[in-house]
Structure 1
Amino acid sequence: MSLKLLHEPENDDPILSVVNIIDIFLVIIAALLITVAQNPMLNAFSKQDVTVITDAGKPTMEMMVKKGEKIERYKSSGQIGQGEGAKAGTAYRMKDGGIVYVPE
């Protein structure tokens, strides 16, 4: 009886392993498509302009700007900028966490 279980025709069918590999690839492709759809920098079909800032306020800060199909990358030099200018308005932080800008 035990020899009969080892030689069942279902275990020797090579098509079953191919079907399993195809199923695995379909799951991987679906995961990659979801990742691309959720990340605005990777989505080539998005018409929106996107700005992504990483490590904000730190010397390793980077900023990536996507305008149309062009992506530009800016790195912080770690130095504090300075320049001349005039006060343009006032920003207020609200209780709900929002910020309101009031120009002068």
Structure 2
Amino acid sequence: MSLRLIEDADADDPILSVVNLIDVFLVVIAALLLTVASNPLNPFMQENFTLVKNPGEDTMEVVIKKGEVLEHYKSSGDMGEGEGAKAGITYRMKDGSMIYVPE
């Protein structure tokens, strides 16, 4: 008689359904992590990439990854100098696109 009462108490326990939900959520989280890790658009999976932080600001920084080597370039805010020749003109259109016209 006491064994039957124990079985009935286990069947009505609401915690058992919560435990099953936790298992389902763990499977969903694992699937999402695998999807993010195998995403081909992940920049850290590529061999070489360039990242620009704060573009156009005084605190701009450029990070270049070539294989296993990371190079950091920080903006000093000074105007660049050097020798060279004018290669063409760039125009910004009303829609935000840019057009380069070589000379």
Q: TM-score by structure 1 length? A: 0.60
Indicate the percent of aligned positions where both proteins have the same amino acid.
31
Q: Which runs of 5+ in 1 are unaligned?
A: 1-5
CA distance in structure 2 between the partners assigned to 1:41 and 1:71 by the alignment: 14
Matched with 1:92 is: 91
- Flag the 1:16–1:97 CA change in 2: closer, same or farther, 3 A: closer
> Retained in 2: the 8 A contact 1:91–1:101?
yes
Structure with the higher helix share, 1 or 2: 2
Pairwise CA RMSD: 3.5
Distance 1:29 1:60 in 2: 37
Amino acid in the other structure paired with 2:80 = Q
Give the SS at the match of 1:31: helix
Is residue 2:39 matched to residue 1:41? no
Runs of 4+ in 1 over 4 A off after TM superposition: 12-16
Q: How does 1:1-104 map to 2 (within 5 A)?
A: 7-11=9-13, 17=19, 19-36=20-37, 37=39, 39-42=41-44, 44=45, 46=46, 49-67=48-66, 69-70=67-68, 72-84=70-82, 85-104=84-103
CA distance in 1, matches of 2:72, 2:94: 33
Instruction: Count matched residues.
Output: 95
Gaps of 5+ in 2: 1-7
Computing the radius of gyration from Cα coordinates, the structure with the larger value is: 2
CA–CA distance in structure 1, aligned partners of residues 18 and 26 of structure 2: 15
Instruction: Compare 32-41 and 21-30 and name the one that shifted more.
Output: 32-41
